[in-house]
Amino acid sequence: MARSDRRIATALQALGTLDELAYQPSSSIIRDAAIQRFEYTFEATWKAAQAVLLDRYGIELASPKPVVRASLENGLLTEEEARIGLAMVDHRNLTAHTYNEELANEIFAQIPSYRRLLREWLERLAKA
């Protein structure tokens, strides 16, 4: 199995754990768990995209924002998805470095759209 395929499989597993929380009654515990699962799912997904860009397109990139932009340039994301993807990178960076109740609620509110984007991105990466 190619490195990029392993990365995609790992990201899909991570996304499955995030999906598990999608229909749970909202609480601060569910919110915090969803944010944690969003963090590692995002990490696994951008690294899967990084591997696909290298293995299948010969593009070597070292951080999430350039990976999102290259995914757009290579048809793996639409313009709207790339815009959401860049916002997702910013939210991921904020969750990793600070804790703020208002920010946690803001990010939690975006998780449904982030889940959809992560799934679409991974499906396209698998087909690339």
Say how far apart CA 15 and CA 11 lie, in whole Å: 6
Domain encompassing residue 109: 3-127
- Number of domains making up the chain: 1
pLDDT (tens place) for every residue of the chain, 128 residues total:
789 999 999 999 999 999 999 999 999 999 999 999 999 999 999 999 999 999 999 999 999 999 999 999 999 999 999 999 999 999 999 987 667 889 999 999 999 999 999 999 999 999 99
Residue 7 CB neighbours (<10 A): 22
Look at residue 99 in the predicted model and tell me its pLDDT: 79
pTM comes to 0.94
Residue 31, helix vs strand vs coil: helix
Q: Is 65 left (phi over 0), alpha (psi -120 to 50) or beta?
A: alpha
Say how far apart CA 88 and CA 118 lie, in whole Å: 10
Angle at 108 between CA 104 and CA 109, to 5 degrees: 120
The domain spanning residue 97 has which CATH number?
1.20.120.330
